[in-house]
Chain A
Amino acid sequence: GAVVSQHPSRVICKSGTSVKIECRSLDFQATTMFWYRQFPKKSLMLMATSNEGSKATYEQGVEKDKFLINHASLTLSTLTVTSAHPEDSSFYICSARGTSGTYNEQFFGPGTRLTVL
């Protein structure tokens, strides 16, 4: 099946620093990748949609300058949390959609737990 990896799985950083999270599709080409944020016991909140080679589309209320998304290749997207603050602490999940298939199915990464001190 389609596998999506995320790195790192956990990261702790100091307030004011930037953190980069990588999302890779390991065995398929992902034309579209999605980034979600999830709080404990809550649903996934879509932050942005990125298509390879073009600028990401951010959901309303998501700060573009704070959450920088790059989708430079068909297998890699990155989310950079700039000048992180404690309120950015959360669980971040990426998903990827391939170039084929009829179900519009998304394959999810295992998530990254970000803690900002």
Chain B
Amino acid sequence: AQTVTQSQPEMSVQEAETVTLSCTYDTSESNYYLFWYKQPPSRQMILVIRQEAYKQQNATENRFSVNFQKAAKSFSLKISDSQLGDTAMYFCASNTGANSKLTFGKGITLSVRP
């Protein structure tokens, strides 16, 4: 079984600064995928970034990047140059190669202050 843990319930960051959201996971599978989803006030789930476990290189999407530490089972999200539109709940999630069912963390509420 997979587990995803987000231990910080909320964070706040000043506009234009950098913030890191933490996530740890546990799985017995060797082939798995990791995701960060954003859920703004509209509640539409938006994929922010994804990482294949077999890739050593950290994924990057514009201002969003991850720090994937496979041995430590850690998958943190770094948001650079934070913008007001980044205010949302962020969920860390994982699934395996054989099973596309997503396991979500509890989520973290991020507030970007003007």
User: Could you tell me which A residues sit within 8 Å of B by CB distance?
Assistant: 32, 34, 38, 41-44, 46, 49, 91, 93, 95, 97, 102-106, 108, 110-111
Assess A104 versus B95: contact at CB under 8 Å? Given A110-B42, A110-B44, A111-B44: yes
Q: Among B15-23, B64-72, B74-82, B105-113, which stretch is in contact with chain A? A: B105-113
Task: For the complex, give the distance between the alpha carbons of A104 and B51 in Å.
Answer: 11
In the complex, the answer to whether B50 meets A41 with C-beta atoms within 8 Å is no
- The interface residues of chain A lying within 8 Å CB-to-CB of B42 are 110
A99 to B97, CA, bound (A): 14
* Given A46-B101, A46-B102, A104-B97: A41 touches B45 (CB 8 Å cut-off): no
Q: In whole Å, how far is A110's beta carbon from the nearest beta carbon of chain B? A: 5
Residues of B with C-beta under 8 A to A104: 33, 95-97, 100
C-alpha gap A55/B101 in the complex (Å): 16
- Pick the 10 closest A-B CB pairs, nearest first: A108-B45, A104-B100, A43-B104, A110-B44, A43-B106, A104-B95, A43-B107, A111-B43, A97-B100, A44-B104
* B47:A44 contact, CB within 8 angstroms: no
Nearest CB in chain A: distance from B97 CB, A = 7
Contact B52 A103 (CB under 8 A): yes
Chain B residues at the A interface, C-beta cutoff of 8 Å: 33, 35, 42-47, 50, 52, 89, 91, 95-97, 100-102, 104-107, 109
Q: Chain B residues with Cβ under 8 A from A38's Cβ?
A: 43
| Given A41-B89, A44-B91, A106 and B44 contact (CB-CB distance below 8 Å) | no
- Contact sample, A vs B, 11 pairs, CB 8 Å cutoff: A32-B100, A34-B101, A42-B107, A43-B106, A44-B104, A46-B101, A103-B33, A104-B96, A104-B100, A110-B42, A111-B43
> Closest CB of chain A to B1's CB: distance in Å?
12
Chain A residue at minimal CB-CB distance from B92: A43
CB within 8 Å for A105 and B50 given contacts A32-B100, A91-B43: yes
In the complex, chain A residues whose CB is within 8 Å of the CB of B47 = 105
Contact of A43 among B46, B91, B97 (CB under 8 A): B91
B50 contact set on A, CB distance < 8 A: 103, 105
CB proximity of B82 to chain A, nearest CB, Å = 21
- List, in ascending order, chain B residues with CB within 8 A of A43's CB: 91, 104-107
